[in-house]
Amino acid sequence: MTIKLPQIIGHRGVAAYAPENTLESIHMAADMEIKWVKLDVKITKDQIPIIFHDDTLERTTSSSGNISDITYEDLQQLDAGSWFGDSFIGVSVPTLEEAIEVLIDRNLGLNLEINPSPGHEKETAEIALDILSQYWDEHEKLLISSFSHVSLETAIEMAEDWHRGLCLPSQWPENWAELADYLKVSAINVNGNDVTQEQIQSIININLPILAYTINDPKRAHILQSWGVNGIFSDSPDIIKDGLLNVH
């Protein structure tokens, strides 16, 4: 089962230009004519799926503490934009449902990374995929990825016909190829800033497409592309797009 992946994917929307993982960031990606975005999904204490990356609140909201300890209602009271810039004061953390509605409305493809808080690997996947299945029809414009093999196993159980991506950390597990086979993935997501050409070749050898995160340097993007990487996640996808187009 192959998936046609875009050359460039907006990272958490377009995280260089708007607060990451917000509706504003998704809209901005669409305005910049980026075809796909990568968003992270977690669940709140009361099991509402939200678009959020960190396990804790302090980096991107006006509060602190664990995401898994806050209810959705309390989360809604927080400011998730002012840390980025004054023009985003009052921006809130969106639900997965709200994000999906914008994605469909703006005709964007989605790499949804299941990014569970520790101990919530299975339920985060179950809740997120249940919501997703109520809205999302286009299999070719959806990749479900995760660093958690438990989350990806859950994705197989719930939605086997959706494409899955295995995210590899900088230090690859020795059994990565067996994991990829076991989880029947359609793509491998790697850290493009420290991956080697030899590692890229090892993925090419098992005939899987490769996505590289998170690349904001056009020169590095070009090198990765020359090695055989299929797609690149970027906070500033417009710069990467121009850089790749202008390489001769």
Would you call 27 a catalytic residue per the annotation? Answer: no
In a domain, 35, yes or no: yes
pLDDT at position 244 is 84
Range of the domain at 114: 8-245
Q: CATH number of the domain that 144 lies in? A: 3.20.20.190
Tell me which of 11, 139, 163, 248 is the catalytic residue.
11
Establish how many alpha carbons lie within 13 A of residue 200's alpha carbon, considering only the half-sphere containing its beta carbon. Answer: 19
- With tokens 């396990």, the residue in question is 55
**Residue 112 domain flag:** yes
Q: Is 53 a catalytic residue?
A: yes
- Is 3 a member of any domain? no
Q: Please report the sign of the dihedral spanned by the C-alpha atoms of residue 191, residue 197, residue 221, residue 163.
A: negative
Cα angle 95, 34, 202; round to 5? 95
Instruction: For residues 40 and 124, give the distance between their C-alpha atoms in angstroms, rounded to a whole number.
Output: 11
Sign of CA dihedral 229, 199, 14, 153: positive
Domain count for the chain, please give it.
1
What does the pLDDT read at residue 2? 75
On whether the CB atoms of residues 129 and 159 are closer than 8 A, the answer is: yes
- Residue 89 tokens read as 């004061």
| CA dihedral for 32, 38, 43, 48, sign (positive or negative) | positive
Q: Is residue 2 part of a domain?
A: no
Considering the candidates 27, 53, 149, 222, report the single residue annotated as catalytic.
53
- The answer to the question of residue 137 being in a domain is yes
Dist. CA 188–CA 200, nearest whole Å: 10
Q: Is residue 146 part of a domain?
A: yes
Residue 103 lies in a domain: yes
Give bridge partners of residue 174 from the DSSP assignment. Answer: none
Residue 30: inside a domain: yes
Which contacts of 56-62 are long-range, i.e. CB under 8 A and separated by 24 or more positions? 59/83, 60/19, 60/20, 60/21, 60/84, 61/93
| Tens-binned pLDDT, residue by residue, of the chain (248 aa) | 578 899 999 999 999 999 999 999 999 999 999 999 999 999 999 999 999 999 999 999 999 999 999 999 999 999 999 999 999 999 999 999 999 999 999 999 999 999 999 999 999 999 999 999 999 999 999 999 999 999 999 999 999 999 999 999 999 999 999 999 999 999 999 999 999 999 999 999 999 999 999 999 999 999 999 999 999 999 999 999 998 877 64
